[in-house]
Chains A and B, each alone.
Chain A
Amino acid sequence: MKHIPLLQISHLEKRFSVKEKWMSQWSLNRGRSYKKQDTVYALNKVTLTLNKGETLCVVGETGCGKSTLARAVMGLTKPDSGEIYYGDQRIDNLNDRQRLIFRRRMQMVFQNPYASLNPRMTVYQTLSEPIAFHNPQLSRIEVDQKITTLMESVGISPNWVDRYPHEFSGGQRQRISIARALSVEPDLIIADEPLAALDVSVQAQVLNLMMDKQEEYNLTYLFITHDLAVVEHFSNRVAVMYLGTVCELSDTKTLFNNPKHPYTQALLSAIPRLDNNSQKPIKLIGEVPTPYEAIIGCPFQARCPFAQEKCFIEAPKMIQQPDGSSVSCHAVEEQRL
């Protein structure tokens, strides 16, 4: 397969200001007052390329910035610096009107199907709105036909078009969300933890549906998840994120057979597997901190068992390895691991 880049993200940065009212910026601790930090560094120089027709999974723990990345690509939050290119056009600095054509090309499926469907709109309304909006030339009957085929294609009976979301189960709702995303015939679907709220057997159904649709329409997926078992099964390439930076990017097979970054190794060892005799999980010190300050050096320094002086001073660069993966780690670079 030839690699044609569809989406290019370069040096993307996003900081969130958590500034509150002046009074509530101060907090008390043991009789002393101090001012709260007011910026969270959510994304730090994220660079990724997404090729046409592939599935790129972004994995990481809570707070590593994976959802922020998805929202920045969709234009739901404005990045502070960096560039996002769709094809050869820059899209991160567009206003809403200019963005319209790109909205049609990329769609998002959200985590919680209970919250992402409007409870006051029937399935028909939910699906017809984007179709009619992006295809104003279609007649009412054509829209109806489109909805019928769409619902059949995601495995929901077209007789149910007049039902409301609460009448469906979680898996069915997620199917409707996928149908809504597919309704405008996009090239790229960004899925932010689409399986997290579903049961195992329903997860399999939704994942199968997503794979079928990918084959049918040659879709590209940016799939955000914390479930590594799904990643192993589903993706072509994986980006592992930690505290707003990508720390390892490689082919799925290479990543699972030969993880290089210490964080990836710990993450992989923590997957609950079915065979009981697997190795003990690598224990990391502490938990993911909230990045209130710009990190000097490697973001993983505080929890890394291999951290040395250099890791606290200099940020590691993404360096391509012989097997095609890219890792940002001083220890890997110096072959200490």
Chain B
Amino acid sequence: MELLNVHNLNVNFQLKQGDLAALIDISFSLKKGERIAFVGESGAGKSILGFSIVNLISKPGYIKSGSIKLHDNELSHLSNRQMRHIRGKRIAMIFQDPMMTLNPVLTIGEQMVEAILSHTDLRKKEAKNLAIEKLVQVHIASPENRFDQYPHELSGGMRQRVIIAIALLLTPDIIIADEPTTALDVTIQAEILELLKQICDDNNVALILISHDLGVVSRVAERTIVMYAGRIVEQGPTLEIINDPQHPYTQGLLNALPQMSLPGQRLNQISGSMPSLLDRPSGCAFHERCPYAMDKCKQGLPEFLFNGVSHVACFMVEDMLEDLNNDADSTYFDNELDEDLDTSLEIQPQTRGSK
């Protein structure tokens, strides 16, 4: 059964310049205990998506249409008071900057106990024990002492651990982690990612990871959703997306990584930059930067197509699938088609892999 179901979500921002669409027709679902990731550059709308799931979109933004269902309960129409029972308890959120997330004038313990008391009937002492238990779970040394310390006394990695502990307090169904390791060093980042993964496994918590770093995503997520200019362009299993990206944007994103080209050679850059919400190109928003852009890309919007492993919205892939189907009509053997699908779907054969 699906835990979270987002269907045709549209989020707009009401500005002086007009009603700007930040998210367009976002649909995805999340199973219990599953780890998915949203990837894209800044301005793709990944953070807005995270915020709209917990209804934290502040004015001038608003949810225009669509539904967000958690256990078949609609979230998008809930009032703030009703939403408060869901936030923290059913869906917890981890933000990018650990210093901004923790309240600097309250001790770690006060912040943790406060969260427990507002959602449960536990006594203060029980709440404290629970909090310390969670601090142990995120591998914080001497949790009793840390409990009474202020956020500024902890290092960045430790703060992020505390935040993960707070997110875990009420054993939520979903944790949304918005760039949880961007502000951290590489070695600490590796530790925090390991921890997040392990904790989600142990407690059967689903994770929505929002990141711009495909390396991070490949370490944690089972499924990856690539976003561009407020739309989902490709979604599928992480390994498939990394080894065999279908959408030109995903290909560009992967090829732009330094490890994808030989040392000392030029990197494969994507020309241009992400369009702003103010002047979104017509048709497929990527067509201005796309090396394979056709005339119809400028006019129509590509539909989502399922090619057997992942869902892609691109005319290029659509044409290819059609060609394959036409070919298939003329051949007798179905099993040959399967092999065809695997090999010829690769738009641009490239040598990938680690060096």
Segment among B127-135, B252-260, B301-309, B324-332 that sits at the interface with chain A: B252-260
- CB-CB < 8 A to A271: which residues of B? 186, 215
Asked if A203 lies at the interface with its beta carbon under 8 angstroms from chain B, I say yes
* Cα A270 to Cα B186 with chains together (Å): 6
Give the contacts of B191-250 with A (CB-CB under 8 A).
191, 193-194, 212-216, 218-219, 238-239, 242
Give the contacts of A119-169 with B (CB-CB under 8 A).
169
**Would you call A281 and B215 a contact (CB within 8 A)?**
no
**Would you call B256 and A211 a contact (CB within 8 A)?**
no
Looking at the complex, which one of B213, B214, B238, B270 makes contact with A204 (CB distance below 8 Å)?
A: B270
**Would you call A288 and B258 a contact (CB within 8 A)?**
no
Closest to A55 in B: B264
Measured as residues with beta carbon below 8 angstroms from the partner, the interface class of chain A is: 35 or more
Closest to A235 in B: B263
* Cα A230 to Cα B259 with chains together (Å): 8
Looking at the complex, which one of B155, B190, B219 makes contact with A287 (CB distance below 8 Å)?
A: B155
Asked if B158 lies at the interface with its beta carbon under 8 angstroms from chain A, I say yes
Asked if B290 lies at the interface with its beta carbon under 8 angstroms from chain A, I say no
**Would you call A272 and B193 a contact (CB within 8 A)?**
yes
Closest to B260 in A: A274
**Would you call B212 and A272 a contact (CB within 8 A)?**
no
Segment among A11-19, A108-116, A194-202 that sits at the interface with chain B: A194-202
**Would you call B261 and A233 a contact (CB within 8 A)?**
yes
**Would you call B212 and A199 a contact (CB within 8 A)?**
yes
**Would you call B219 and A203 a contact (CB within 8 A)?**
no
- CB-CB < 8 A to B259: which residues of A? 229, 232-233, 273-274
**Would you call A233 and B269 a contact (CB within 8 A)?**
no
Asked if B2 lies at the interface with its beta carbon under 8 angstroms from chain A, I say no
Closest to A60 in B: B185
Provided the pairs A201-B270, A204-B268 are in contact, do residues A270 and B187 lie with their beta carbons within 8 angstroms? yes
* Cα A232 to Cα B261 with chains together (Å): 10
- CB-CB < 8 A to A208: which residues of B? 266-267, 269
Provided the pairs A171-B273, A201-B269, A229-B258 are in contact, do residues A274 and B185 lie with their beta carbons within 8 angstroms? no
Query: Nearest-CB distance from A113 to chain B (Å)?
Result: 13
* Cα A99 to Cα B266 with chains together (Å): 35
* Cα A240 to Cα B354 with chains together (Å): 22
* Cα A287 to Cα B267 with chains together (Å): 33
Provided the pairs A201-B270, A232-B259 are in contact, do residues A62 and B218 lie with their beta carbons within 8 angstroms? no
Asked if A205 lies at the interface with its beta carbon under 8 angstroms from chain B, I say yes
Asked if A284 lies at the interface with its beta carbon under 8 angstroms from chain B, I say yes
Looking at the complex, which one of A169, A207, A212, A232 makes contact with B263 (CB distance below 8 Å)?
A: A232
* Cα A213 to Cα B191 with chains together (Å): 37
- CB-CB < 8 A to A304: which residues of B? none
* Cα A276 to Cα B242 with chains together (Å): 10
Query: Nearest-CB distance from B247 to chain A (Å)?
Result: 14
Asked if A35 lies at the interface with its beta carbon under 8 angstroms from chain B, I say no
Asked if B27 lies at the interface with its beta carbon under 8 angstroms from chain A, I say no
Provided the pairs A204-B270, A211-B266, A233-B267 are in contact, do residues A270 and B354 lie with their beta carbons within 8 angstroms? no
Q: Count chain B CB atoms within 10 A of each CB in A200, A202, A211, A280 and give the residue with the most.
A: A200
* Cα A272 to Cα B271 with chains together (Å): 25
**Would you call B258 and A278 a contact (CB within 8 A)?**
no
**Would you call A287 and B354 a contact (CB within 8 A)?**
no
* Cα A148 to Cα B239 with chains together (Å): 46
Give the contacts of A199-231 with B (CB-CB under 8 A).
199-205, 207-208, 211-212, 226, 228-230
Closest to B213 in A: A272
Query: Nearest-CB distance from B116 to chain A (Å)?
Result: 25
**Would you call A274 and B186 a contact (CB within 8 A)?**
no
**Would you call B215 and A274 a contact (CB within 8 A)?**
yes
Closest to A268 in B: B186
Closest to A212 in B: B266
**Would you call A274 and B218 a contact (CB within 8 A)?**
yes
- CB-CB < 8 A to A207: which residues of B? 258, 267
Asked if A61 lies at the interface with its beta carbon under 8 angstroms from chain B, I say yes
Asked if A234 lies at the interface with its beta carbon under 8 angstroms from chain B, I say yes
Closest to A256 in B: B355
Query: Nearest-CB distance from B287 to chain A (Å)?
Result: 16
Asked if A90 lies at the interface with its beta carbon under 8 angstroms from chain B, I say no
**Would you call B267 and A288 a contact (CB within 8 A)?**
no
**Would you call A266 and B187 a contact (CB within 8 A)?**
yes
Asked if B42 lies at the interface with its beta carbon under 8 angstroms from chain A, I say yes
Closest to B216 in A: A272
Asked if A283 lies at the interface with its beta carbon under 8 angstroms from chain B, I say yes
Provided the pairs A232-B263, A233-B259 are in contact, do residues A201 and B190 lie with their beta carbons within 8 angstroms? no
**Would you call B213 and A203 a contact (CB within 8 A)?**
no
- CB-CB < 8 A to B194: which residues of A? 280-281
Query: Nearest-CB distance from A277 to chain B (Å)?
Result: 9
Contact with A along B326-355 (1 / 0, CB 8 A): 000000000000000000000000001110
Looking at the complex, which one of A202, A233, A266 makes contact with B273 (CB distance below 8 Å)?
A: A202
**Would you call B190 and A230 a contact (CB within 8 A)?**
no
Provided the pairs A211-B266, A272-B219 are in contact, do residues A199 and B186 lie with their beta carbons within 8 angstroms? no
**Would you call A204 and B186 a contact (CB within 8 A)?**
no
* Cα A280 to Cα B254 with chains together (Å): 22
Contact with A along B25-43 (1 / 0, CB 8 A): 0000000000000000110
- CB-CB < 8 A to B193: which residues of A? 272
- CB-CB < 8 A to B316: which residues of A? none
Provided the pairs A169-B273, A266-B187 are in contact, do residues A274 and B266 lie with their beta carbons within 8 angstroms? no
Asked if A275 lies at the interface with its beta carbon under 8 angstroms from chain B, I say yes
A-B contact pairs, 19 of them (CB 8 A): A61-B185, A61-B188, A172-B273, A199-B42, A199-B273, A201-B253, A201-B256, A205-B269, A211-B264, A229-B215, A233-B258, A234-B258, A267-B186, A270-B187, A270-B189, A272-B215, A274-B352, A275-B218, A281-B194
Closest 7 CB pairs of A and B: A272-B215, A233-B258, A270-B190, A281-B190, A204-B256, A204-B267, A199-B41
**Supplied contacts A61-B186, A201-B253, 6 more A-B pairs, CB within 8 Å:** A62-B185, A199-B42, A199-B273, A274-B215, A274-B218, A275-B353
